[in-house]
Structure 1
Amino acid sequence: MELAFTGRVIEWRGPAPYYFVAVPDEESADIREVAATATYGWGVIPVEARIGEVAFETSLFPKDGGYLLPLKKAVRGAAGLAAGDEVPVGLTVRLR
């Protein structure tokens, strides 16, 4: 499953800061339709993601009926991302 959207980089401040892009409602609904064939447990969804020229593998986190795309420091650095940036995202949901 291929998806594309634009989202804002958000920072969650916990014991250590984490950065995410929230998957929009429409795309989250599409992911929920295939979640049972994609998840490997705990509701996380394995994906291949692209932000600009930076491609990476990660897993979407379920949150309040939607999903969050985590952005590791290496990804943020390579793509030049900071909290508040609006970014184009491409996702490929990896189905089992």
Structure 2
Amino acid sequence: MTGARYSFTAEVWEHHGQGAWHFIDVPETIADEIEEKYAHRATGFGAVKVEVTIGASRWSTSLFPDKSRATYVLPLKKAIRIAEALAAGSPAHVDLTVIA
């Protein structure tokens, strides 16, 4: 069963810690709606399962709540970043569907 669909453009950022993890912040208004509708179904760490499309790339992953950023963050695998020519600071158009 699929849930709500969202589209937005946001900047890719790199986590400054171990590894070279890259993320995209979900806009606050969308994050608030996702939390309201789906937080009760969240898995470990408050993760919400989603299907994501950026450009020609489509994959399943989870959004993770990030209290310090006050939103959900979307992790970007290296393969996706390479396929879509994304780096820290790049804008990315995201189509996201919550897997309810």
Bin of the TM-score, shorter chain as denominator length: over 0.9
* One-letter amino acid of the counterpart of residue 36, structure 2: E
TM-score (norm: length of structure 1): 0.92
Which residue in the other structure is 2:52 paired with?
Answer: 49
Aligned pair 1:20/2:23, yes or no? Answer: yes
Aligned-pair RMSD on alpha carbons? 1.1
Unaligned runs of 5+ in 2: none
Distance 2:9 2:52 in 1: 12
Q: 1:72 to 1:85 in 2, by over 3 A?
A: same
Which residue in the other structure is 1:76 paired with?
Answer: 81
Which residue in the other structure is 1:10 paired with?
Answer: 13
TM-score (norm: length of structure 2): 0.89
Give 1:23-34 correspondences, 5 Å limit.
Answer: 23-34=26-37
Contact 2:39 2:48 in 1 (8 A): no
CA offset at residue 38 of structure 1? Answer: 3.5
Contact 1:61 1:69 in 2 (8 A): yes
Out of 53, 61, 67, the residue aligned to residue 72 of structure 2 is 67
Contact 1:49 1:57 in 2 (8 A): yes
The structure 1 segments of at least 4 consecutive aligned residues displaced by more than 2 Å after TM superposition are 35-38
Identical-pair percentage = 41
Out of 86, 93, 96, the residue aligned to residue 91 of structure 2 is 86
Unaligned runs of 5+ in 1: none
